[in-house]
């Protein structure tokens, strides 16, 4: 081979490689972007404003029971009775069933306490004995106190008579300062003071027992 032939062959070979490389088509990636679409039109929200004037009524509830409650405005006036809907009266109500006392309305005139069960219409009358003072009225029971400081539980019985049950277990010399029924018609909490100390206990209307 001629000495220059090798150089020419190598040169031609390089040109072919360059040509081959140059002949490769260039690839390009183009991200296809969908044309932006406008969001659907949304109507502006329309607000409705309702102005309501509320007036709070203050007053007291002289009575609240199983079938309704009584209300009297703070400005005075008559007592309004409101009945609860769909009240089913008990099959039996009376002083012999203390639990039914939750629906008893009590009125007092002098030494006579009149009790009425609202949903059944059953009535009873308690007469406060001479020498005793009215202290409270809870359901079918009427707590009293005599001149010696002894507490009693009065309750109507048959033939218009009044049963008098002295309270037992109350501390001797103690002075009652408050009577709190707390919604119960079977018991009564009595706050009392003795020797400068204040204590509280419960009197059971069923038997007149006082427990602390």
- pLDDT in single tens digits along all 212 residues of the chain: 444 444 444 444 444 444 444 444 444 444 444 455 555 555 565 666 666 666 565 778 778 889 998 888 888 788 888 899 999 999 999 999 999 999 999 999 999 999 999 999 999 999 999 999 999 999 999 999 999 999 999 999 999 999 999 999 999 999 999 999 877 999 999 999 999 999 999 999 999 999 98
In this predicted structure, what is the pLDDT of residue 75? Answer: 81
pTM of the full structure: 0.70
**Are residues 154 and 140 part of one domain?**
yes
In this predicted structure, what is the pLDDT of residue 148? Answer: 95
**Are residues 168 and 64 part of one domain?**
no
**Are residues 71 and 146 part of one domain?**
no
Contact 104, 117 (CB under 8 A): yes
In this predicted structure, what is the pLDDT of residue 47? Answer: 60
Expressed as residue numbers, the domain containing 84 is 58-88
**Are residues 125 and 80 part of one domain?**
no
Beta strands (DSSP E) in the chain are: 59-64, 68-73, 80-83, 104-109, 112-117, 123-127, 132-134, 142-146, 151-156, 162-166, 175-180, 187-194, 197-204, 210-211
User: Is residue 156, in this structure, part of any structural domain at all?
Assistant: yes
In this predicted structure, what is the pLDDT of residue 181? Answer: 86
Domain total in the chain = 2
Contact 36, 50 (CB under 8 A): no
In this predicted structure, what is the pLDDT of residue 10? Answer: 45
């Amino acid at each position: 081979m001629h000495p220059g032939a090798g150089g020419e062959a190598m040169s031609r070979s390089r040109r072919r490689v360059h040509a081959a490389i140059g002949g490769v088509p260039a690839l390009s990636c183009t991200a296809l972007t969908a044309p932006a679409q406008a969001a659907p039109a949304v109507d502006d929200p329309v607000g409705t404003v309702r102005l309501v004037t509320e007036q709070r009524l203050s007053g007291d509830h002289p009575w609240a029971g199983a079938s309704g409650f009584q209300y009297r405005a703070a400005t005075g006036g008559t007592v309004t009775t409101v009945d609860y809907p769909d009240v089913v009266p008990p099959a039996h109500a009376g002083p012999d069933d203390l639990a039914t006392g939750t629906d008893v309305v009590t009125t007092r005139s002098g030494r006579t306490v009149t009790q009425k069960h609202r949903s059944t219409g059953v009535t009873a009358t308690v007469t406060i004995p001479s020498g005793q003072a009215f202290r409270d009225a809870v359901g079918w029971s009427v707590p009293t106190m005599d001149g010696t400081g002894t507490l009693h539980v009065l309750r109507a019985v048959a033939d218009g008579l009044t049963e008098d049950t002295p309270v037992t277990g109350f501390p001797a010399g103690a002075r009652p300062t408050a009577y709190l029924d707390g919604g119960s018609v079977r018991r009564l909490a009595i706050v009392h003071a003795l020797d400068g100390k204040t204590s509280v206990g419960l009197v059971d209307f069923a038997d007149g027992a006082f427990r602390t």
